[in-house]
Amino acid sequence: SMQNRDAQQQKELSKKLITRDRDMLWWVDQLRATKRKKTESPFLFFSIALFLDVLIFVRGGEILDDLESDCFGRANQDSTFEIHTGVLLTAPSSLLETLPGIASLSQCISACESTRSCRALNYETELCVLFSTSATYEPDALSQSQFPVFTIYAQKICVRSSRSFCASSPTPWVFDIVMNHKLMGPEKLHRITLTREECMGLCISSSKFICRSVNFDVSSGSCSLLDVDRRSGVLKQNNGFEYIESKCISEPQLSLCKFKSIEDRMLKTMDSVHYKVKSLNDCKSLCIQKRCLSYDYKESGPEVCRLSYQSSLTLSHISSPYIDILGATTYELGACYNISVDCRDSYMIAKVRTNQMFKGKIYGMKRPNSCGLHIENQFNFSLQMEYNDIGCDVKEVQPGHFVSDVVLQHHSTIVTNSDISLKVRCNYDLLNRTVNNQDTFNVDGELGETAEAEQTIIHSPNVSMRITDRQRRDVTAAKVGDHLALTFRIETNEMKNHYEIFVRELVAIDGLDSSEIILIDELGCPMDVSIMSHVKQVNGSAQTLQADFDAFKFPTSDTVQFRALVTPCIPRCDPIVCNLGYPMYSYGKRRRRRETVEGSTPENEVLVGGKIIISDRFESNEEKSEESTQLLGGQPYRCLDAFGATIGGGAFLFTQMIFVAGILYFHVKRKGYSSRRDDGFANHPIRR
């Protein structure tokens, strides 16, 4: 009811403004007609012109006041945009314009902003449709639109002080809405508000904490502010609620971003398309610059880079956001980091800021147990390392120069390709006892491992497990992040026509038998698809199964052991449907037990296993020059003491002086030559 009254007021004010516009346009037409005849009636021309000046001053001033006060008369509120993904506005009578070839959602919103009567828009990849109405006035005109592609709907809204608080927003929209959904998580602040716009205003103006999202109860006006969003929490359907995600967040300057690849899949709709992008790295850099969440390159044409502000985590409410295309790759943003080092008199502090809530461990590479912290859902955290503490293994590479390697590990147990290593340094001038605080550090974002693989295959009479690459070739070397697979197969040829197999309870164990992680649960579904994928058939046959994974290791051991239960069944094994954000069949479900038929063989579980020995590539990195580290741009950075820096700086200044003197000499000489040329050419407008 409150929203209906608010919509009615907006409609009345809009009609009032349209009436004013009509009056203004009529007088302008009269002035134009009189101007054409001003030689016949100059007095009438100047009279209408004078009256129009007064009208513009009075009514035009009122109109400008309405616009400048934002939202047509509602004081202290700014006009901005909200977007809805997967919905469509259908209002043919209110359609203003259809704009093909619009390369981005931002350009479509800009077109709506520059069209005075535009209230809302629909956007699909490179297609923009503008409307003079919106779901605020016609809520029944909004419907789901997810096939064959999903549509993005945006509309103008009025939020208090959104311009001042959101001036640094990377997008022209300030809120991303998911209707009939609620984010699970503890609320930081709760209020009862009259409208959803008031609830939005509370979020963007929050000063005690960073408000990242809001759960708004439409019926009661309950407004719950949270410091997490869909990338850190779980979004669930809840009718009557609106999930409101703020884009008005000032993120830290991020120096390292990790992306993961999604193979054989493309997003149906992208927010922007960029042409003539020369390389995949250029496309990635463009994504980081625009703060996008997903990108693909050359999938829709040569040198075409497509960006999206959505990802698999933010599109969980869309039934099928991806298109399955063999060979295609979508790159999805994981987390970005800003890392610095604080040098103190007897210790150093490695400080980390991230744009995605971190849950995992930070530790010294050589001392994961004695020098580390467990981080539980934090955006900012740090690790303090004493110089004289052997537990953290801080090395003094030369007098006053201390260095240590730090690992950010996302999983509580294993090291994966998502993890990063940092080399932090503190340099001290021992002559005058001053500290050189350096925020430079080494970042090795790959955590690559050179590996020698050693297999132990435990055979049943019929079944084996092998560690292979994705083409089912036995591996002899691996690095963290390499694409590997576990292949399960019935080895006895004469039994293949009678049996199928399924896999469950797959675990990984370190070489010391002190840590283990469950990869496939007792039902046959993967526990974490970012570590181990579902179990799938090979060539459509359940006699050979394969589970893909990216190589990982344990921080305390070079050995990773795999162990699983494999069960043959007659005549076939039924898969289980696993909910991985989308339905996925996994061949790991035990068939329902039936009465044993005479002549059949009961199911017998077989324990199979294998191991791979991985040597840490960090150790080989230490063989490189200890005086230099590699920064993000790939340029070497060398630590200099105060004397070396002074000598280097003086040499640099001397070189620059010679360079500038040479430029001045040639400039004066050229100027003298040019002055003798024709003055007409010298004054020609095209001369630079």
The yes-or-no verdict on residue 165 having pLDDT over 50 is yes
Same domain, 458 and 441: no
**Paired tokens of 6:** 């608010």
Q: Say what the pLDDT of residue 675 is.
A: 46
Same domain, 321 and 352: no
Average pLDDT over residues 252-265: 81
State how far the Cα of 66 lies from the Cα of 437, in Å rounded to an integer: 53
- Please report whether residue 628 resides in a domain: no
The yes-or-no verdict on residue 415 having pLDDT over 80 is yes
**β-sheet bridge partners, residue 474:** 468
Q: Say what the pLDDT of residue 511 is.
A: 75
- Please report whether residue 631 resides in a domain: no
- Please report whether residue 597 resides in a domain: yes
- Please report whether residue 431 resides in a domain: yes
- Please report whether residue 627 resides in a domain: no
Average pLDDT over residues 341-352: 88
Q: Say what the pLDDT of residue 679 is.
A: 44
Average pLDDT, the chain: 75
The yes-or-no verdict on residue 135 having pLDDT over 60 is yes
Same domain, 508 and 551: yes
**Paired tokens of 171:** 């997008």
Q: Say what the pLDDT of residue 438 is.
A: 42
Q: pLDDT class for 106, splitting at 50, 70, 90?
A: very high
Average pLDDT over residues 592-607: 47
- Please report whether residue 623 resides in a domain: no
Same domain, 230 and 103: yes
Same domain, 556 and 650: no
Q: Which DSSP symbol is given to 589?
A: P
Q: Which DSSP symbol is given to 647?
A: H
Last residue of a domain, one of 212, 246, 280: 246
Average pLDDT over residues 120-132: 94
Q: pLDDT class for 615, splitting at 50, 70, 90?
A: low
The yes-or-no verdict on residue 110 having pLDDT over 90 is yes
Range of the domain at 363: 344-447
The 3-state DSSP composition of the chain as helix, strand, coil percent (nearest 5) reads 20, 40, 40
The yes-or-no verdict on residue 588 having pLDDT over 90 is no
If phi over 0 gives left and psi between -120 and 50 gives alpha, with beta otherwise, what is residue 303? Answer: left
Task: Render 511-566 in DSSP notation, one character per residue.
Answer: TTSS-EEEEE-TTS-BS-TTTEEEEEEETTEEEEEEEEEE--B-TT-SEEEEEEEE
Q: Say what the pLDDT of residue 642 is.
A: 46
pLDDT digits (tens, 9 = 90+) for 631-652: 333 333 333 444 444 555 565 5
Last residue of a domain, one of 207, 222, 246: 246
**Paired tokens of 72:** 């047509």
The yes-or-no verdict on residue 483 having pLDDT over 90 is no
Q: pLDDT class for 455, splitting at 50, 70, 90?
A: very low
Total count of domains within the chain: 6
Alpha helices in 69-195 (DSSP H): 105-114, 162-165
Last residue of a domain, one of 221, 246, 271: 246
Q: Say what the pLDDT of residue 399 is.
A: 81
Same domain, 92 and 187: yes
Percent of the chain exceeding pLDDT 70 equals 67
Q: Say what the pLDDT of residue 616 is.
A: 58
Q: Say what the pLDDT of residue 398 is.
A: 83
Q: pLDDT class for 573, splitting at 50, 70, 90?
A: confident
Percent of the chain exceeding pLDDT 90 equals 29
Angle between helices 2-36 and 42-55 (to 10 degrees): 160
The yes-or-no verdict on residue 514 having pLDDT over 90 is no
Same domain, 564 and 471: yes
Least confident window among 48-52, 95-99, 197-201: 48-52
Strand, coil or helix: 612: strand
Average pLDDT over residues 249-267: 81
Same domain, 572 and 528: yes
The yes-or-no verdict on residue 266 having pLDDT over 90 is yes
Q: Say what the pLDDT of residue 66 is.
A: 43
Average pLDDT over residues 286-305: 92
Least confident window among 35-49, 248-262, 424-438: 35-49
- Please report whether residue 158 resides in a domain: yes
Distances (CA, A) of 53 to 16, 59, 130, 240: 21, 10, 33, 51
State how far the Cα of 136 lies from the Cα of 94, in Å rounded to an integer: 14
* CATH code for the domain in which residue 330 is found: 3.50.4.10
Q: Which residue has the higher pLDDT, 627 or 250?
A: 250
Q: Which residue has the higher pLDDT, 266 or 685?
A: 266
Average pLDDT over residues 256-274: 90
Same domain, 189 and 168: yes
* Top-confidence range, 6-20, 353-367, 489-503, 640-654: 353-367
Same domain, 493 and 529: yes
Q: pLDDT class for 198, splitting at 50, 70, 90?
A: very high
Q: Which DSSP symbol is given to 93?
A: G
Q: pLDDT class for 612, splitting at 50, 70, 90?
A: confident
Q: How many residues does the chain have?
A: 688
pTM over 0.75: no
pLDDT digits (tens, 9 = 90+) for 644-684: 445 555 655 666 566 556 656 655 555 554 444 444 433 43
Least confident window among 496-505, 595-604, 614-623: 595-604
Average pLDDT over residues 333-349: 86
60, burial (CB in 10 Å: exposed 0-12, middle 13-18, buried 19+)? middle
The yes-or-no verdict on residue 73 having pLDDT over 60 is no
Q: Say what the pLDDT of residue 220 is.
A: 94
Same domain, 515 and 542: yes
Average pLDDT over residues 583-593: 55
Degrees (nearest 5) of the Cα angle 467, 473, 475? Answer: 50
Least confident window among 128-132, 150-154, 647-651: 647-651
Q: pLDDT class for 431, splitting at 50, 70, 90?
A: low
Residue type, 536: K
The yes-or-no verdict on residue 156 having pLDDT over 90 is yes
The yes-or-no verdict on residue 34 having pLDDT over 60 is no
Same domain, 507 and 599: yes
Average pLDDT over residues 61-71: 44
Q: Say what the pLDDT of residue 405 is.
A: 87
Average pLDDT over residues 215-225: 95
- Please report whether residue 382 resides in a domain: yes
Q: Say what the pLDDT of residue 222 is.
A: 95
The yes-or-no verdict on residue 353 having pLDDT over 50 is yes
Q: Say what the pLDDT of residue 45 is.
A: 53
Average pLDDT over residues 321-343: 90
